[in-house]
Amino acid sequence: MANDGKLHVAMFPWLAFGHMIPYLELAKLIAQKGHKISFISTPKNIDRLPKLPPHLAHLINFVKIPLPILDKLPENAEATIDVAYHEVKYLKIAYDALQKPITQFLQSSSPDWLFFDFVPYWLPTIASNLNIPTAFFIILNAAFLGFVGPSTVLTGTKDYRTKPEDFTVPPNWIPFETTVAFKLFEVLSIFKDAVVGDEENISDLYRLGASIKACDIIAIKSCSEFEPEWFQLVQQLHQKPVLPVGLLPVTVNNGGDGNNNDAWIDIKEWLDNQAKGSVVYIAFGSEAELSQGQLTEIALGLELSGLPFFWVLRRRSGSADNIQLPDGFEERTKGRGMVWTSWAPQPKILSHDSVGGFLTHSGWGSLVEGIQFGRGLILLTFLSDQGLNARVLEEKKLGYPIPRDERDGSFTRNSVAESLRLVMLDEAGQTYRDNVKKMSKLFGDTDRQDRYVDNLLGFLQSHRRPQVL
């Protein structure tokens, strides 16, 4: 190992692009400082990642480890986007079977640090046996970790929360006033997989708790200026170093669009013809599976609003093919609305002057991008951490939630239209527009991001372990 102070950091994200992309962004920021990265994933996923900037390609080594074949997984499925929601657990089971090849890679490469995601709860023990320190890098915010609580609760040692209703109120370990909690419909949609698990698969919360308990440090994709009280709480709950890595703001022109520049040319041409700040951009990430009822109400709500819109409507693999837009919808909205059914460069769209609002599923990555570019946020949650993210933004008056039924999550076309107009046009929505513009300075601050990376690297360098020969 060179004695020049440079690090070799291995990274092993979960098999979802909402996880792999933030890991890759952090990898690039670390590599820019001259450190070496081993980025571990499956062959198909690595081939689908954005191309590296040429000046970093020699510092980031992509390590391809094939995913074991599982009868219940569709052929060639290597990421959550390749499977239906109910099949994600089989992806986790296949991922768990990577223990042996990962161990062999770590033994042969001896990285100074290993950054890992919430799914491979077994990995920090393997790394510890090889004298490799670990960072649990969570691509969510500190509020999420604060709400879900200590390892004893997450792993079920203490049965604090056993039924869905328990997740609809702030837990007793939060020492400050907050409205951050799930709505009942949000918990019901994830309770089985995230909280309970089954005879085939371990629950997400158990994986999370075991990962945190066994890691050396917790690294969070957020910044302490945005949520200081939550960072303090996470530190108190886990009694180990908690490091913000910054918000990892995206750069719009980083050459990372691969072969999709033709798509952007067409999209930009359409956006260029719209008035400044007039367009609502709609995207719900790669995980959400809209029902026919939800799709219909969103579409008719867009129509009712009278606003120009650009809707990225992609179906994930395995979702129902018979879900359709309302009859005549595209014809009636022709000229002022665009439905885009293939890949779209979200940061480029959000940065375009014609975009004024963002109707989003409240995934943390999308929220960061929306705030970074100062766009009014209209929130419609579907899965996972999205409900907690939405509450954080509601509390800070940074985003407006579409009103819904608390138990089944249903909403109407009228509530969609009214929410869009409120955030985009109405005087009552001025607070949201002003607040997000102010916060965009923090979220897009690249100098601050650089300081976070320097601070992280300083810690990693001072706490690396001597290699065992």
Residue 9 pLDDT greater than 70, yes or no: yes
Residues contacting 279, CB < 8 A, separation 6+ = 271, 307, 308, 309, 310, 352, 354, 355, 356, 357
Paired tokens of 71: 């009868």
Spatial CA neighbour of 259 closest among 342, 155, 358, 196 = 342
| CA atoms of 248 and 30, how far apart (whole Å) | 12
- SS3 annotation, 219-265: EECCCCCCCHHHHHHHHHHHCCCEEECCCCCCCCCCCCCCCCHHHHH
19: nearest Cα among 73, 74, 75, 95: 95
**pLDDT confidence of residue 107:** 96
Distances (CA, A) of 43 to 53, 339, 363: 20, 31, 26
Are 156 and 236 part of one and the same domain? yes
Q: Are both 242 and 265 inside the same structural domain?
A: no
Query: Domain check: are 283 and 173 in the same one?
Result: no
- The first and second tokens of residue 9, run together, are 């950091």
**pLDDT tens figures, 192-249:** 777 877 778 889 999 999 999 999 999 999 999 999 999 999 999 999 999 999 999 8
**Mean pLDDT, to the nearest integer, of 332-351?**
92
Q: Angle at which helices 446-462 and 17-31 pack, to 10 degrees?
A: 80
3-state secondary structure of 360: strand
On the 0-12 / 13-18 / 19+ scale of CB atoms within 10 A, 295 is middle
Residues 286 and 17: beta-carbon distance below 8 Å: yes
Nearest to 253 by CA among 353, 352, 347: 347
Please indicate, yes or no, if residue 40 is contained in any of the structural domains. Answer: yes
> From CA 324, how far away is CA 305, in angstroms rounded?
20
Residue 360 lies in a domain: yes
Residue 420 CA to residue 297 CA, distance in Å, equals 13
pLDDT, tens digit, 9 for 90 and up, residues 258-306: 445 778 999 999 999 999 999 999 999 877 788 999 999 999 999 999 9
Q: Is residue 413 part of a domain?
A: yes
Could you tell me the CATH number of the domain that includes residue 330? 3.40.50.2000
196 and 327 assigned to the same domain: no
In a domain, 455, yes or no: yes
Share of the chain above pLDDT 90, in %: 81
Q: Tokens in use for 360?
A: 């989003």
What's the whole-number average pLDDT of the chain? 92
Q: Which SS3 state, helix, strand or coil, does residue 135 take?
A: strand
pLDDT digits (tens, 9 = 90+) for 314-336: 776 655 566 789 999 999 999 89
DSSP 134: E
Task: Kindly report the number of other CB atoms within 10 A of residue 76's CB atom.
Answer: 10
pTM: 0.93
Residue that has been written with the tokens 């302490």 in this structure: 224
Q: What local confidence, expressed as pLDDT, does residue 321 receive?
A: 60
Q: Are residues 452 and 361 in the same domain?
A: no
Quote the pLDDT of residue 20.
Answer: 96
Which structure tokens are listed for 286?
Answer: 């790669």
Cα–Cα distance between 7 and 34 in angstroms, integer?
8
pLDDT at 257 over 60: no
The predicted pLDDT at position 1 comes to 43
Taking only the tens place, the pLDDT of each residue in 365-413 is 999 999 999 999 999 999 889 999 999 999 999 999 999 999 999 999 9
- Domain range for 373 is 261-443
Is 2 within the bounds of a domain? Answer: no
Q: What is the pLDDT of residue 197?
A: 78
Tens of pLDDT, residues 69-101:
998 899 999 999 999 888 999 999 999 999 999
Instruction: Identify whether 3 is part of a domain.
Output: no
CA distances in angstroms from 280 to 400, 423, 440, listed in the order given = 14, 10, 18
Exposed e or buried b for every residue in 218-256, given b needs 16+ CB within 10 A?
Answer: bbbbbbbebbeebbbbbeebbeeebbbbbbbbbeeeeeb
Residue 4 has pLDDT above 80, yes or no: no
Residues 210 and 323 in one domain: no
- Are 265 and 219 in a shared domain? no
Residues 366 and 453 in one domain: no
pLDDT exceeds 80 at position 466: no
417 and 455 belong to one structural domain: no
Domain-located, residue 266: yes
Range with lowest mean pLDDT among 197-201, 398-402, 417-421, 444-448 = 197-201
- Is the domain of 439 the same as that of 449? no
Mean pLDDT of 54-82: 94
**For position 254, what pLDDT does the model report?**
46
Does residue 131 sit within a domain?
A: yes
CB 28 within 8 A of CB 54: no
Q: What is the tally of structural domains in the chain?
A: 2
Residue 31: CA count within 13 A, CB half-sphere: 22
Are 308 and 278 spatial neighbours (Cβ–Cβ below 8 Å)?
yes
Is there a single domain that holds both residue 233 and residue 282?
no
State whether 300 and 449 are in the same domain.
no
